[in-house]
Amino acid sequence: MKRRWDRLLRTATPLLTAGVLLQAGGCTVDANLVFQGLLSSIVDSLISSLVFGAFNLV
């Protein structure tokens, strides 16, 4: 019985640890932050393409 319990603990411990780390890391998706990052990226790309196009920079 002791061996079975030890084997169960050895296999379950990494899974439980990964679950705790994911919970602590906060793996939720915030749509506001995703939209804000996307909008920022688009605006930066647009501004840089206008600047490089206006001054003919490569």
What does the alpha-carbon distance between residue 14 and residue 58 come to, in Å, rounded to a whole number?
50
- Both structure tokens of 48: 């840089």
Q: With 80 as the cut, is the pLDDT of residue 50 above it?
A: yes
Is the torsion defined by CA of 30, 31, 34, 39 positive or negative? negative
Q: With 70 as the cut, is the pLDDT of residue 52 above it?
A: yes
- pLDDT-derived band of residue 46, with 50, 70 and 90 as boundaries? confident
pLDDT tens digit string along 12-42? 888 777 777 666 656 666 778 778 888 888 8
DSSP state of 51: H
Single pTM value for the model: 0.46
What does the alpha-carbon distance between residue 34 and residue 27 come to, in Å, rounded to a whole number?
13
